[in-house]
């Protein structure tokens, strides 16, 4: 039985998640350079970065344990939760937490 683990295969998805999070955070950063409509401070970037990085990492860890046919449903669930939290923090769409 071969118990040797190639750690590169386990770390690689998390590197991609970190890169995708950084690229996603570049969108509001660049938008802030051209318009006054986007006004994020450091806390906004930290919170959104933590949300994206945490949710992406959690998705990878959980999706490794579920059947491949449930990964799409799991991904949609994670995306829905991220959008819900983002909307709540931004403007309080469903409750008045953001205002």
Q: Quote the CA–CA distance of 32 and 60 in Å, as a whole number.
A: 31
Q: What is the dihedral of CA 87, 93, 96, 99, to 10 degrees?
A: 60
Q: DSSP letter string over 25-88?
A: HHHHHHHHHH-SS----HHHHHHHHHHHHHHHHHHHHHHTTS-GGGHHHHHHHHHHHHHHHHHH
How far, in Å, CA of 47 to CA of 25, rounded? 11
pLDDT tens, residue by residue, 32-89: 999 998 889 999 999 999 999 999 999 999 988 988 888 999 999 999 999 998 888 8
- What is the reported pLDDT for 82? 92
pLDDT of residue 26 exceeding 80, the answer is: yes
pTM of the model: 0.78
**Residue 1 predicted with pLDDT over 50:** no
Q: pLDDT at position 4, please?
A: 53
């Amino acid at each position: 039985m071969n118990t040797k683990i190639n750690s590169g295969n386990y770390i690689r998805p998390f590197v991609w998640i970190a890169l995708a999070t950084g690229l996603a955070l570049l969108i509001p950063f660049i938008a802030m350079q051209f318009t006054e409509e986007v006004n994020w401070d450091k806390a906004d970037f930290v919170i959104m970065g933590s949300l994206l990085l945490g949710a992406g990492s959690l998705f990878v860890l959980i999706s490794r344990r579920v059947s491949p046919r449930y990964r799409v449903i799991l991904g949609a669930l994670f995306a829905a939760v991220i959008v819900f939290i983002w909307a709540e923090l931004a403007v309080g769409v469903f409750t008045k937490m953001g205002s």
